[in-house]
Structure formats: C-alpha cells, structure tokens
Amino acid sequence: MTNGAKPRIGIMTSGGDAQGMNAAVRAIVRAGIHAEAEVFAIGEGWQGAYEGGAHIRRMTWSTVSGILNKGGTVIGTARSQAMRAEDGQRQVVRNLVEHGIDRLIVIGGDGSLTGARVLSLEWQRYLGELVERGELSAEQAAAHPSLRMAGLVGSIDNDMVGTDMTIGTDSALHRITEAIDAISSTAESHRRTFIVEVMGRNCGYLALMSAIAGGADYVFLPESPPRDGWEDRMVEVLGRARDAGRRDSILIVAEGAKDRQGESITAERIHQALEERTGDNARITILGHVQRGGKPSAYDRWMATACGVEAVRQVLDADHDAEPVLVGVHRNKVHMEPLLPAVERTRAIAQLIADGRYEDAIASRGHGFESMIKIYRTLNEARPSASEPRGKRIAIMNVGALAPGMNQLARVAVRTGIDRGFDMLAVIGGVPGLMEGNVRELDWSSVEGMASTGGADFGTRRYIANETDLYSMARQLEDHKIDALLVSGGYHAYATVALMESERRRYPAFNIPIALLPASIDNNLPCWEMAVGSDTALNTVVDDIDMVRMSASASKRAFVVETMGRTCGFLPLVGGVAGGAEKAYLPETGITLEQLNRDIPALVDAFDSGRSFYLTVMGEGASEHYTCEMIRRMFEAEGKGRYTVRQMVIGHAQQGGIPTPFDRINATRLASQAVAYLDAQVTDGKAEYGAASSSDPSLIAPLRHVLEEMDWDNQRPSTQWWTDLRPVFDQLSRRPGQE
C-alpha cells in the first residue's frame, strides 16, 4: 500500500461455527466501509489465511446483504494445523501483507483468538524473516509494521471469561430448550424418563441454563462433578419429584461431565444406573450439532452486530503497539478488555476442574453461574430445606399486561418460598382479584410444568389501583393474613405499588414487605436492562420480519412493520437492528414531515439502485398522526409503480407464545432473589418495599430509589441502554452518502 491508501481490515471466522457469526461479519464489513476502510474476508478461517489466494477476497456492501438471519458462517470456517507451527504463521503474515492487510478481526473460540494474538506478537519477527528470504520487500514490511487485532468470541459454549455471552450461546439455548419442551410432552404422556446430552466441552453453561429453562429434574456439569454415590442420590431426587406429582423425568448431561474420579458420565452410564436401581428404561437423546444449527436468535443478531461495529473502531484507532482486545458484552453493553488475560483465565478453569478445585472453577465462571447452580438445586429438591414451617404467608400477584415468563416467575417464587418454609398463595386476576379476595393456596405441585408455558396461569389485568381501591385491597391482605407480597408486571404494577407505599400511613395492612419485579414486553421499566417477556416479544418481532422478507423475495416490495411498546422504543429499535431494517421510527423521536421528506427519496433511490426489499420498523407510539397505514400509502404513492408496499401490525402475538430461554432464566434469577429479599425482611421484622435493580448486589433495591429513575410522564425509564444501538442502526442501514 502507498501512503494515503485506505486501511485494510481482514475478517475471519475460525473454529466451530456459531449462530450470529454472519451478523458480526455483516456489521464489520459495513462499519468498515463507513469508516472508509477496505474489508477483506478470509475464507475458511486460519486455513484460508495460510493458503491465501482466492481465500482472501474483498467484500462490498451488497456482499453481506441478506446474511443477517442465516446460521453458520457464509465466509466459511476451518481448523488449521498449519497455524500451530512457525512456518504456517510466517506464511499467514506473508499472505496478509501481500493483500495490504494489517488489521484483523477474528471471530472464534479461545484457540482461534490465541492464534491471532501470537501472530500479533510475532508479526515484526516474521516480517524480518520474510524480508531476509526475499519473500517480501522492505517497503512492504515498512508499510505494515504491526498487526492490530480484535477478537469476538464465536462459541455456543459460553466458555470465555471477559464477556457475559458469546456469539451463538443464546441461539444454542433456543435449540436445546425447544428440544426439551418437545421431549417433555411425550415423556409426560408415557410417564417416561429422558436423558438429554448437550454440548459445552468443559463448560456447563448450556447444560445448567437449559435445565433451568426446561424445568429438568437433574443435571450433570463439568464444574460440579457429583460425589460418590450419585446414582442413588439421583434416583432419590427423581423419586421425590414423581411423588410430588410429576409424570416425566428429564435429565440433562453436559458432554464434558465427569465424576470425582475423572471418569466420564455419559448418557449411557446414567441410563445403566437408572435401569439397575429402578428398572426404568430411560430414553436417550443426544442433540449434537443441531445445537449449532438454525437461524440466530434476536439477541445473537443485535449483540454480534454491536460488537462487530466496535471491533472495527478498535482496529482502526489502535496504536501500532496496542495489545489485542476482546470485544464482548457486559449487561447488554459492548465491553472491551485485553485479550490475553481473558484467554488465560478461561483456560485456567479447565485446569481447576482437572485439579479437583470445583468450587474455584464454579466461582471463576462468575457470580451469576454460581448463584444459578444454587437456585437450580432448590427448585428440584421437592422438599423444603427449612427445618419447620415459618407460619408466614407470601402472596404472588401479576399486575398489568401479560408478559411471557410470568409463569416461570410464579413457579420459581412458589418453590423457593416453600423451600424457605413459607406458605405460598396466588392472587388470581391481578388487582381486581385482590379486591375480590380471589386468593388461592399453593403447594409444590401447583406450579408443575409452568416453566415452559406462555400466558399467566394466575391471571393478570391491565389495571392500576386508585385511591378508592385501597380499602378493599388492604382488607383482603388482612383477611388472608398475608405477611409479604411479590408483585410482577409492567408500568401498571409499578404505579400500583408506588401508590400503596404512599398510603401506608392510612392503611396499616400495607406495612408488609413487597418485592416488585419487571415483567413487560415493552421493556419500559427502570433499573433492569431486560424485563421478563421483552426477549420473547423481540424474537417474535424478528421472526415476523424474517417471514415478510421471504414473502417479498419474488417481487420488489417494501414493508412497514409496526411493533408494540407504547411510548418505549426498545422493540422497534432493537428489532430493527436484529431484523436488518433500513428505517426505524421510535416513540422517543417521533415522526416529522421533514423526516419523511428525506426518507421517501431514499426509499425510491434504493429500489432504483437495484434493491428488491426495503424494511421500515415503527413503534406503535411513534406518532399519533403518521400511522402505519399512512406511511405505507405515502411510500407507495411516491414509488409510482416501481415497487409495492405492504404493512404488518404484529399486535398481540408479541405477548403470546412460549417464553424464550432468556426470559425463563431471567425470571428464575429475579424470583429467587425476590423471595430471599422478602425472607430477610420478614426475619428482621421489617416491612420495606423493594424493586429489581441490576446495580444492587442483591438485585433488589429500595423502591423509592428505583422509581427515581422512572420518567412517569412518558412511562419509560429515564435512562435507556438500547439507545446506544441507534448509531449502530443508522450506520449499518444505509450506504455512505445515503440520507
């Protein structure tokens, strides 16, 4: 390259494939083009970098069109033995320099990323050797004195320290949970036992989280080998679950699970143990590579997209001697840290397991992993750990619109409460149900099978309590001797509990501890990044976008898709990023005639330039006047026959359906912490109101502090993390130079 030439970025996917890799590739290519860089795909991973030639090809804007919703990786991946040797690494350096590439983004696991870091550290030495051999000129070496590198973790195992989630993990959980749900149906019909083997190597994340999301009875993890005699213990736990009313038994085993002597615990070994002790001829299902397959989930699309854009910025802005960085996520925001420490800490966990330091291995996975193991054990014991009943009663109540995952919230709360010695009750039908005294006592089996069901078995109503309702509510709390209350819901729930707190002096019955949990597809609640139900709704939006995209494949067509969300732009913006939309209209920014005067010519130009599909996503509260139907008519009128325009109002489908694994896991964590909070309040004789807060170590903060972050006028949080995705959306949705 000569002085003043555009920087060149190489991108590769390496190692095992993972859903969401294509989203990252698309983001890197388009963000690189916006940054006036040239982007080259290195096909077949490190093997393609070693072989060079046609494996290294320039990417254009249109090259990555239509790949966002595809599984696998369109640029190919492979493992390379050649990269393990210096001769192979030296050849890779030569091929990259000959193509003018001195910035590299690698999407892969710890092995792929380690190889990239080694190459970065040894770059100058290899340059010198190549010049000495006459394979590169001194001018070429001088033009590319260093390799600036960023890594994205593409692995369904979620085994990398330094990021909350790796690309592909959420999609793999979708595949596993769908399989468990399907297996549970036939297992329940026949009172049968199933053993399901999942991937994960030395990491039990997939096994643990799918067991929680799928309501499985027993799980085997690499980080937590069972103690000697585990076979009898397993039979005992399964027997208690059957005695409590369960018709089926589901066991999950990670492919890397072992006992404390280092012997593998396979599905066949578990089957044999069950048959010898109970005569049960359990069925075995090994999911295998189906976990890697299929289209990526909404999360894997928008997360990989955001990380890809940041990776481009990192390699373009980095100094020549900059340490390679790992680009991941922390609490739904892009997060960077040095690559080497992350890889070293990841590999250290395998050694901790090999050394028998299991508690240290679990702790190294993070507090969330550690706490979820404890929660899982509580949910599946089928007997209280409390020595005797507490004589105290906790009621559960849903308030407001339906959110998928409410049933899992209730299930976990009931079983966690019983485990702690509480009597558990359900208020049926929200605030109106409480006013009418519609309260039901619950036992362990009352919530059996609720982990995987949509809807809200205990009912809910879009109803905000007013002052005239308070007397009836207070009276019923007293009559039913309710000592604590767990409330889940959206804006209606937050407004109702806020009113109850303000009226505690007038109504002594309200002087009980209350825990308030966010459950809303709108994701419009303060201090918690993802309300229960919002991920399910988002996936519904993205699934519908995928379908209308396919429906338009045979003709030139634009779609205007309207999401729910009321005054909050989470669904249209994040759905637009994950669905590959060209325009997104949000309630926060509204729609103006001036904006439409810019957008309509851009739409027409897109079709004149060869586009066959164009997608606009808008929130239902984006504009009172510019409705979905009106925008459709304006778009079509200005096209003058060049294309057709259709509209789709997704509507209440976003509230229905089976909750996603994320929503089930999210509900599990929230409900468990809420009951722990109420337990502490009752034990200490306190009666404080708390609400979910991700910034609090206990995940429950004083209600008044949480409500300070609420924009009551607009019914949404004062701070919305997803607005950080707006620049990402704007950059990737249109070519440079387009309005």
Handedness of CA 212, 213, 217, 220 (dihedral sign): negative
- Asked if 534 contacts 523 with a C-beta cutoff of 8 angstroms, the reply is yes
CA-CA distance, 530 to 127, in Å (whole number)? 48
Q: Which of 102, 157, 419, 679 is catalytic?
A: 157
Three-state DSSP class for 142? helix
Question: Residue 409's Cα: distance from chain center in Å?
Answer: 18
C-beta atoms surrounding 259 within 10 Å: 16
| Residue whose token pair is 């637009």 | 576
Amino acid at 248: D
Helix axes 367-379, 205-214, angle to 10 degrees: 40
Per DSSP, which regions of 294-340 are E strands?
Answer: 325-330, 333-338
Handedness of CA 153, 155, 161, 164 (dihedral sign): positive
Strand partners, 642: none
Handedness of CA 535, 160, 526, 432 (dihedral sign): positive
Strand partners, 220: 253
245: left (phi over 0), alpha (psi -120 to 50) or beta: left
Instruction: Kindly report the three-state secondary structure assignment for every residue of 379-439.
Output: HCCCCCCCCCCCCCEEEEEEECCCCCCHHHHHHHHHHHHHHCCCEEEEECCHHHHHHCCCE
Considering only CA atoms, which of 144, 146, 130 is closest in space to residue 2? 144
- Asked if 618 contacts 631 with a C-beta cutoff of 8 angstroms, the reply is yes
- Asked if 436 contacts 497 with a C-beta cutoff of 8 angstroms, the reply is no
Helix (H) or strand (E) holding 444: none
455 vs 168, 231, 659, 669, CA distance in Å? 27, 37, 9, 19
Residues comprising the chain, all counted: 739
CA-CA distance, 415 to 430, in Å (whole number)? 20
C-beta atoms surrounding 63 within 10 Å: 18
CA-CA distance, 474 to 506, in Å (whole number)? 10
- Which residues, at least 6 apart from 269, have a Cβ–Cβ distance to it below 8 Å? none
Q: Is 164 a catalytic residue?
A: no
Catalytic amino acids?
A: 157
